[in-house]
Structure 1
Amino acid sequence: MKRIPTILGAAALALAASSGARAEPVTYAIDPTHTFVTFESLHFGTSTNRGRFDKKQGTVVFDRAAKTGKVELTIETGSVNTGVAPFNQHLTGKDFFRSDEFPTATFKSDDFQFDGDKLSEVAGTLTLLGKTHPVVLKASHFNCYQNPMLKREVCGGDFETTIQRSQWGITYALPVQPDDIRLLVQVEAVRQ
Protein backbone atom coordinates (compact mmCIF):
# COMPACT_ATOMS: atom_id res chain seq x y z
CA MET A 1 0.00 0.00 0.00
CA LYS A 2 2.81 2.44 0.72
CA ARG A 3 4.22 1.87 -2.77
CA ILE A 4 1.08 3.08 -4.63
CA PRO A 5 0.96 6.52 -2.97
CA THR A 6 4.71 6.93 -3.63
CA ILE A 7 4.32 6.08 -7.33
CA LEU A 8 1.20 8.27 -7.64
CA GLY A 9 2.92 11.12 -5.81
CA ALA A 10 5.98 10.88 -8.07
CA ALA A 11 3.78 10.79 -11.18
CA ALA A 12 1.80 13.82 -9.96
CA LEU A 13 5.03 15.76 -9.28
CA ALA A 14 6.40 14.87 -12.71
CA LEU A 15 3.16 15.92 -14.39
CA ALA A 16 3.05 19.18 -12.45
CA ALA A 17 6.67 19.90 -13.29
CA SER A 18 6.17 19.25 -16.99
CA SER A 19 2.89 21.13 -17.37
CA GLY A 20 3.44 23.93 -14.89
CA ALA A 21 7.12 24.62 -15.53
CA ARG A 22 7.54 28.03 -17.06
CA ALA A 23 10.60 29.50 -18.58
CA GLU A 24 12.13 32.01 -16.26
CA PRO A 25 14.95 34.43 -17.00
CA VAL A 26 17.88 34.43 -14.59
CA THR A 27 20.29 37.34 -14.13
CA TYR A 28 24.04 36.77 -14.07
CA ALA A 29 26.77 39.32 -13.29
CA ILE A 30 29.83 39.16 -15.50
CA ASP A 31 32.83 38.01 -13.48
CA PRO A 32 35.70 40.35 -14.42
CA THR A 33 38.28 37.85 -13.16
CA HIS A 34 37.08 35.23 -15.69
CA THR A 35 36.12 37.57 -18.52
CA PHE A 36 38.66 38.73 -21.07
CA VAL A 37 38.10 40.82 -24.18
CA THR A 38 41.08 40.50 -26.52
CA PHE A 39 41.83 41.58 -30.06
CA GLU A 40 44.22 40.50 -32.79
CA SER A 41 45.47 42.33 -35.88
CA LEU A 42 48.15 41.50 -38.42
CA HIS A 43 51.19 43.75 -38.28
CA PHE A 44 52.42 44.40 -41.83
CA GLY A 45 51.36 40.84 -42.72
CA THR A 46 54.25 39.53 -40.66
CA SER A 47 53.15 38.95 -37.07
CA THR A 48 50.03 39.37 -34.99
CA ASN A 49 49.54 42.26 -32.59
CA ARG A 50 47.44 41.28 -29.58
CA GLY A 51 45.91 43.20 -26.73
CA ARG A 52 43.17 43.06 -24.14
CA PHE A 53 40.97 45.33 -22.11
CA ASP A 54 41.53 44.93 -18.38
CA LYS A 55 38.38 46.70 -17.11
CA LYS A 56 34.92 45.44 -18.06
CA GLN A 57 31.55 44.88 -16.44
CA GLY A 58 28.10 43.77 -17.40
CA THR A 59 25.13 41.49 -17.00
CA VAL A 60 23.57 38.56 -18.77
CA VAL A 61 19.91 37.59 -18.49
CA PHE A 62 19.48 34.01 -19.65
CA ASP A 63 16.45 31.77 -19.94
CA ARG A 64 17.67 28.31 -20.80
CA ALA A 65 14.19 26.78 -21.19
CA ALA A 66 12.92 29.53 -23.52
CA LYS A 67 16.31 29.75 -25.30
CA THR A 68 16.42 33.52 -24.93
CA GLY A 69 18.84 35.96 -23.44
CA LYS A 70 20.14 39.49 -23.16
CA VAL A 71 23.63 40.74 -22.54
CA GLU A 72 25.24 44.10 -21.91
CA LEU A 73 29.02 44.29 -21.68
CA THR A 74 30.83 47.59 -21.08
CA ILE A 75 34.56 47.88 -21.70
CA GLU A 76 36.80 50.74 -20.55
CA THR A 77 38.86 51.60 -23.64
CA GLY A 78 41.53 53.29 -21.51
CA SER A 79 42.27 49.91 -19.92
CA VAL A 80 43.75 48.53 -23.16
CA ASN A 81 46.84 46.45 -22.42
CA THR A 82 49.23 45.12 -25.06
CA GLY A 83 52.10 44.62 -22.66
CA VAL A 84 53.90 47.58 -24.29
CA ALA A 85 53.24 50.92 -22.56
CA PRO A 86 53.95 53.20 -25.59
CA PHE A 87 51.63 51.10 -27.77
CA ASN A 88 48.90 51.27 -25.09
CA GLN A 89 49.28 55.06 -25.06
CA HIS A 90 49.00 55.22 -28.86
CA LEU A 91 45.85 53.02 -28.81
CA THR A 92 44.11 55.23 -26.24
CA GLY A 93 44.95 58.39 -28.19
CA LYS A 94 43.47 60.21 -31.19
CA ASP A 95 44.47 57.60 -33.81
CA PHE A 96 42.48 54.77 -32.23
CA PHE A 97 40.13 54.73 -29.21
CA ARG A 98 40.18 58.43 -28.21
CA SER A 99 39.60 57.23 -24.66
CA ASP A 100 39.40 60.74 -23.17
CA GLU A 101 36.37 61.49 -25.36
CA PHE A 102 34.93 57.95 -25.57
CA PRO A 103 35.90 56.14 -22.35
CA THR A 104 33.75 53.06 -22.96
CA ALA A 105 32.70 50.65 -25.67
CA THR A 106 29.47 48.65 -25.23
CA PHE A 107 28.16 45.41 -26.68
CA LYS A 108 24.39 44.85 -26.30
CA SER A 109 22.28 41.94 -27.48
CA ASP A 110 18.86 40.40 -27.00
CA ASP A 111 19.26 37.87 -29.84
CA PHE A 112 20.58 34.47 -28.72
CA GLN A 113 20.61 31.76 -31.40
CA PHE A 114 20.66 28.06 -30.59
CA ASP A 115 21.57 24.91 -32.49
CA GLY A 116 19.38 22.43 -30.63
CA ASP A 117 20.17 23.06 -26.96
CA LYS A 118 23.57 24.56 -27.69
CA LEU A 119 24.07 28.34 -27.85
CA SER A 120 25.60 29.01 -31.28
CA GLU A 121 25.74 32.81 -31.58
CA VAL A 122 24.81 36.11 -30.00
CA ALA A 123 23.82 38.93 -32.36
CA GLY A 124 23.85 42.51 -31.15
CA THR A 125 25.44 45.91 -31.55
CA LEU A 126 28.85 47.29 -30.70
CA THR A 127 29.07 50.96 -29.82
CA LEU A 128 32.57 52.39 -30.12
CA LEU A 129 33.66 56.01 -30.71
CA GLY A 130 30.01 57.06 -30.69
CA LYS A 131 29.11 54.78 -33.60
CA THR A 132 26.89 51.69 -33.34
CA HIS A 133 27.01 48.78 -35.79
CA PRO A 134 25.75 45.18 -35.75
CA VAL A 135 28.09 42.42 -34.61
CA VAL A 136 27.52 38.66 -34.43
CA LEU A 137 29.59 36.70 -31.90
CA LYS A 138 29.99 32.99 -32.66
CA ALA A 139 29.81 30.87 -29.51
CA SER A 140 31.89 27.86 -28.52
CA HIS A 141 32.25 25.96 -25.27
CA PHE A 142 29.12 27.58 -23.80
CA ASN A 143 28.26 25.85 -20.53
CA CYS A 144 26.67 26.37 -17.13
CA TYR A 145 28.06 24.73 -14.00
CA GLN A 146 27.85 24.86 -10.24
CA ASN A 147 30.94 26.72 -9.08
CA PRO A 148 32.35 24.84 -6.06
CA MET A 149 33.95 27.96 -4.54
CA LEU A 150 31.10 30.41 -5.06
CA LYS A 151 28.36 27.82 -4.41
CA ARG A 152 26.42 29.40 -7.28
CA GLU A 153 25.71 28.67 -10.90
CA VAL A 154 28.12 30.16 -13.44
CA CYS A 155 27.47 30.32 -17.20
CA GLY A 156 29.92 31.29 -19.88
CA GLY A 157 31.87 30.44 -22.97
CA ASP A 158 34.15 31.67 -25.70
CA PHE A 159 32.84 34.03 -28.39
CA GLU A 160 34.50 35.52 -31.44
CA THR A 161 33.95 37.73 -34.46
CA THR A 162 35.89 39.78 -36.97
CA ILE A 163 35.06 43.45 -37.43
CA GLN A 164 36.25 46.13 -39.82
CA ARG A 165 37.62 48.91 -37.62
CA SER A 166 36.92 51.54 -40.27
CA GLN A 167 33.17 51.16 -39.60
CA TRP A 168 33.78 52.83 -36.25
CA GLY A 169 36.06 55.49 -37.74
CA ILE A 170 39.40 53.90 -36.84
CA THR A 171 41.27 54.45 -40.09
CA TYR A 172 44.84 55.02 -38.88
CA ALA A 173 47.41 53.39 -41.24
CA LEU A 174 44.81 52.03 -43.66
CA PRO A 175 45.37 50.40 -46.11
CA VAL A 176 48.94 49.58 -45.05
CA GLN A 177 47.60 47.97 -41.89
CA PRO A 178 44.54 45.69 -42.22
CA ASP A 179 40.98 46.78 -41.52
CA ASP A 180 40.03 43.38 -40.07
CA ILE A 181 40.27 43.00 -36.30
CA ARG A 182 39.56 39.66 -34.67
CA LEU A 183 37.71 40.03 -31.34
CA LEU A 184 37.72 37.22 -28.80
CA VAL A 185 35.51 37.35 -25.72
CA GLN A 186 35.97 34.80 -22.97
CA VAL A 187 33.17 35.33 -20.47
CA GLU A 188 31.87 33.81 -17.27
CA ALA A 189 28.91 35.25 -15.38
CA VAL A 190 27.69 34.41 -11.86
CA ARG A 191 24.03 33.84 -11.05
CA GLN A 192 22.62 36.60 -8.84
Structure 2
Amino acid sequence: MRTTLFAIAAASLLATAAQAAPATYAIDPTHTFATFEIDHMGATTNRVRFDKKQGTVEFDRAGKTGKVEVVLDMTSVNSGTAGFDKHLQSADLFNVAQFPTAKFVSDKFVFDGDKLKEVTGQLTLLDKAQAVTLKANKFNCYPSPMLQKREVCGGDFETTIDRTAFGVNYGVDWGFSKQVRLVLQIEAVKQ
Protein backbone atom coordinates (compact mmCIF):
# COMPACT_ATOMS: atom_id res chain seq x y z
CA MET A 1 0.00 0.00 0.00
CA ARG A 2 2.81 2.38 0.91
CA THR A 3 4.53 1.67 -2.43
CA THR A 4 1.31 2.43 -4.31
CA LEU A 5 0.87 5.77 -2.51
CA PHE A 6 4.49 6.64 -3.25
CA ALA A 7 4.02 5.76 -6.94
CA ILE A 8 0.86 7.91 -7.15
CA ALA A 9 2.61 10.84 -5.44
CA ALA A 10 5.64 10.51 -7.73
CA ALA A 11 3.44 10.37 -10.84
CA SER A 12 1.53 13.44 -9.66
CA LEU A 13 4.78 15.32 -9.03
CA LEU A 14 6.12 14.39 -12.47
CA ALA A 15 2.88 15.49 -14.14
CA THR A 16 3.06 18.85 -12.35
CA ALA A 17 6.71 19.29 -13.35
CA ALA A 18 5.85 18.50 -16.97
CA GLN A 19 3.11 21.15 -16.96
CA ALA A 20 5.52 23.75 -15.54
CA ALA A 21 8.10 23.22 -18.29
CA PRO A 22 8.77 26.24 -20.48
CA ALA A 23 6.86 26.41 -23.75
CA THR A 24 8.54 27.43 -26.99
CA TYR A 25 7.05 30.16 -29.16
CA ALA A 26 8.04 31.30 -32.66
CA ILE A 27 7.89 35.00 -33.39
CA ASP A 28 5.12 35.84 -35.84
CA PRO A 29 6.69 38.37 -38.24
CA THR A 30 3.27 39.58 -39.40
CA HIS A 31 2.38 40.66 -35.84
CA THR A 32 5.84 41.82 -34.78
CA PHE A 33 7.15 45.32 -35.42
CA ALA A 34 10.61 46.65 -34.59
CA THR A 35 11.06 50.41 -34.86
CA PHE A 36 13.33 53.16 -33.65
CA GLU A 37 12.86 56.87 -33.15
CA ILE A 38 15.49 59.59 -32.99
CA ASP A 39 15.17 63.34 -32.53
CA HIS A 40 15.98 65.34 -35.66
CA MET A 41 17.58 68.59 -34.52
CA GLY A 42 14.79 69.34 -32.04
CA ALA A 43 12.35 69.93 -34.89
CA THR A 44 10.89 66.49 -35.66
CA THR A 45 11.29 62.81 -34.88
CA ASN A 46 12.61 60.35 -37.44
CA ARG A 47 10.78 57.00 -37.22
CA VAL A 48 12.15 53.91 -38.93
CA ARG A 49 11.18 50.23 -38.95
CA PHE A 50 12.79 46.91 -39.80
CA ASP A 51 10.65 44.85 -42.16
CA LYS A 52 12.36 41.49 -41.60
CA LYS A 53 12.72 39.94 -38.17
CA GLN A 54 12.68 36.48 -36.64
CA GLY A 55 13.18 34.81 -33.31
CA THR A 56 12.01 32.52 -30.57
CA VAL A 57 10.71 32.83 -27.04
CA GLU A 58 10.74 30.27 -24.26
CA PHE A 59 8.25 31.12 -21.54
CA ASP A 60 7.34 29.37 -18.31
CA ARG A 61 4.27 31.17 -17.04
CA ALA A 62 4.13 29.25 -13.73
CA GLY A 63 7.84 29.75 -13.06
CA LYS A 64 7.79 33.36 -14.31
CA THR A 65 10.92 32.75 -16.35
CA GLY A 66 11.79 32.98 -19.98
CA LYS A 67 14.31 33.40 -22.75
CA VAL A 68 14.04 35.39 -25.93
CA GLU A 69 16.10 35.88 -29.06
CA VAL A 70 15.07 38.41 -31.70
CA VAL A 71 17.14 38.95 -34.84
CA LEU A 72 16.62 42.02 -37.02
CA ASP A 73 17.65 42.00 -40.67
CA MET A 74 19.38 45.38 -40.88
CA THR A 75 19.16 45.34 -44.69
CA SER A 76 15.37 45.62 -44.30
CA VAL A 77 15.51 49.08 -42.69
CA ASN A 78 12.58 51.14 -43.97
CA SER A 79 12.12 54.86 -43.34
CA GLY A 80 9.74 55.33 -46.26
CA THR A 81 12.43 57.23 -48.14
CA ALA A 82 14.81 55.24 -50.36
CA GLY A 83 17.70 57.73 -50.07
CA PHE A 84 17.51 57.75 -46.27
CA ASP A 85 17.32 53.94 -46.19
CA LYS A 86 20.48 53.77 -48.31
CA HIS A 87 22.27 56.12 -45.92
CA LEU A 88 21.10 54.12 -42.87
CA GLN A 89 22.54 50.98 -44.50
CA SER A 90 25.88 52.68 -45.26
CA ALA A 91 29.11 52.49 -43.25
CA ASP A 92 28.17 55.89 -41.74
CA LEU A 93 25.45 54.23 -39.68
CA PHE A 94 24.47 50.51 -39.67
CA ASN A 95 27.17 49.25 -42.08
CA VAL A 96 24.91 46.42 -43.27
CA ALA A 97 27.52 45.11 -45.70
CA GLN A 98 29.64 44.05 -42.73
CA PHE A 99 26.93 43.67 -40.05
CA PRO A 100 23.68 42.51 -41.71
CA THR A 101 21.89 41.65 -38.46
CA ALA A 102 21.28 43.01 -34.99
CA LYS A 103 20.22 40.75 -32.14
CA PHE A 104 18.56 40.98 -28.73
CA VAL A 105 19.05 37.98 -26.42
CA SER A 106 17.62 37.68 -22.92
CA ASP A 107 17.20 35.06 -20.24
CA LYS A 108 15.77 37.35 -17.55
CA PHE A 109 12.08 38.19 -17.28
CA VAL A 110 11.18 40.44 -14.33
CA PHE A 111 7.65 40.22 -12.89
CA ASP A 112 5.71 42.38 -10.46
CA GLY A 113 3.27 39.82 -9.13
CA ASP A 114 1.74 38.22 -12.23
CA LYS A 115 2.53 41.20 -14.47
CA LEU A 116 5.62 41.12 -16.71
CA LYS A 117 7.51 44.31 -15.90
CA GLU A 118 10.66 44.06 -18.04
CA VAL A 119 12.97 41.84 -20.04
CA THR A 120 16.70 42.30 -19.53
CA GLY A 121 19.35 41.13 -21.98
CA GLN A 122 22.06 42.01 -24.47
CA LEU A 123 21.59 44.01 -27.65
CA THR A 124 24.25 43.38 -30.28
CA LEU A 125 24.63 46.00 -33.01
CA LEU A 126 27.71 46.48 -35.20
CA ASP A 127 29.26 43.53 -33.34
CA LYS A 128 29.12 45.43 -30.02
CA ALA A 129 26.98 44.05 -27.18
CA GLN A 130 25.44 46.23 -24.49
CA ALA A 131 23.07 45.46 -21.61
CA VAL A 132 19.54 46.62 -22.39
CA THR A 133 16.30 46.49 -20.38
CA LEU A 134 13.06 46.44 -22.36
CA LYS A 135 10.18 47.87 -20.33
CA ALA A 136 6.94 45.93 -20.85
CA ASN A 137 4.06 48.32 -21.52
CA LYS A 138 1.68 45.45 -22.32
CA PHE A 139 1.92 41.66 -22.13
CA ASN A 140 -0.69 38.96 -22.52
CA CYS A 141 -1.15 35.36 -23.63
CA TYR A 142 -4.37 34.28 -25.34
CA PRO A 143 -5.86 31.44 -27.40
CA SER A 144 -5.82 32.79 -30.96
CA PRO A 145 -9.15 32.43 -32.76
CA MET A 146 -7.24 32.75 -36.07
CA LEU A 147 -4.89 29.84 -35.27
CA GLN A 148 -7.32 27.17 -34.04
CA LYS A 149 -6.98 28.39 -30.43
CA ARG A 150 -3.17 27.98 -30.34
CA GLU A 151 -1.65 30.08 -27.58
CA VAL A 152 -0.08 33.38 -28.59
CA CYS A 153 1.92 35.57 -26.19
CA GLY A 154 2.85 39.11 -26.97
CA GLY A 155 3.52 42.58 -25.72
CA ASP A 156 4.74 46.09 -26.34
CA PHE A 157 8.29 46.78 -25.15
CA GLU A 158 10.54 49.83 -25.27
CA THR A 159 13.90 51.17 -24.20
CA THR A 160 16.20 54.08 -24.93
CA ILE A 161 19.82 53.48 -25.85
CA ASP A 162 22.88 55.64 -26.41
CA ARG A 163 23.74 54.79 -30.01
CA THR A 164 27.37 55.88 -29.57
CA ALA A 165 27.87 52.89 -27.21
CA PHE A 166 27.55 50.76 -30.37
CA GLY A 167 29.79 53.00 -32.47
CA VAL A 168 26.94 54.71 -34.35
CA ASN A 169 28.37 58.23 -34.10
CA TYR A 170 27.24 59.84 -37.35
CA GLY A 171 25.96 63.40 -36.90
CA VAL A 172 26.65 63.68 -33.17
CA ASP A 173 29.14 66.50 -33.82
CA TRP A 174 26.39 68.37 -35.71
CA GLY A 175 23.93 68.07 -32.83
CA PHE A 176 22.03 64.91 -33.76
CA SER A 177 20.85 63.08 -30.67
CA LYS A 178 22.76 60.16 -29.21
CA GLN A 179 19.55 58.86 -27.64
CA VAL A 180 17.46 56.43 -29.68
CA ARG A 181 14.11 55.04 -28.56
CA LEU A 182 13.62 51.39 -29.55
CA VAL A 183 10.09 50.00 -29.70
CA LEU A 184 9.37 46.29 -30.12
CA GLN A 185 5.82 45.02 -30.52
CA ILE A 186 6.04 41.27 -30.53
CA GLU A 187 3.66 38.31 -30.80
CA ALA A 188 4.85 34.72 -30.75
CA VAL A 189 2.93 31.50 -31.42
CA LYS A 190 3.29 28.43 -29.21
CA GLN A 191 4.94 25.56 -31.04
Same fold flag (TM > 0.5): yes
In 2, distance between residues paired with 1:132 and 1:20? 40
Measure how far apart 1:36 and its partner are.
0.4
Point out where structure 1 has 5 or more consecutive residues left out of the alignment: 1-15
Q: Higher helix proportion, which one?
A: 2
Measure how far apart 1:124 and its partner are.
0.1
Out of 147, 150, 163, the position equivalent to 2:161 is 163
In 1, distance between residues paired with 2:12 and 2:38? 50
Out of 80, 84, 96, the position equivalent to 1:83 is 80
1:41 and 2:38 are equivalent in the alignment:
yes
Aligned Cα RMSD in Å? 1.4
Q: State the Cα deviation string for residues 27-86 of structure 1 (Å, max 9, x = none).
A: 000000000000000100010000000000000000000000000000001100000000
1:122 and 2:127 are equivalent in the alignment:
no
Q: How does 1:7-18 map to 2 (within 5 A)?
A: none
What is the number of residues matched between the two proteins? 177
140 and 17 in structure 1: CA distance in 2 versus 1, 3 angstrom threshold: farther
Name the amino acid aligned to 1:61.
E
Measure how far apart 1:24 and its partner are.
1.1
Measure how far apart 1:20 and its partner are.
5.5
Out of 134, 154, 158, the position equivalent to 1:137 is 134
Runs of at least 4 residues of structure 1 off by over 2 A? 16-22
In 1, distance between residues paired with 2:87 and 2:12? 57
Point out where structure 2 has 5 or more consecutive residues left out of the alignment: 1-10
Name the amino acid aligned to 1:146.
P
Give the equivalent residue in structure 1 for 2:90: 93
TM-score with structure 2 setting the length: 0.90
TM-score with structure 1 setting the length: 0.89
Give the equivalent residue in structure 2 for 1:5: none
Measure how far apart 1:140 and its partner are.
1.7
Name the amino acid aligned to 1:160.
E
- Report percent identity of matched pairs: 59
Out of 56, 61, 67, the position equivalent to 1:59 is 56
Measure how far apart 1:17 and its partner are.
7.2
In 2, distance between residues paired with 1:128 and 1:59? 19
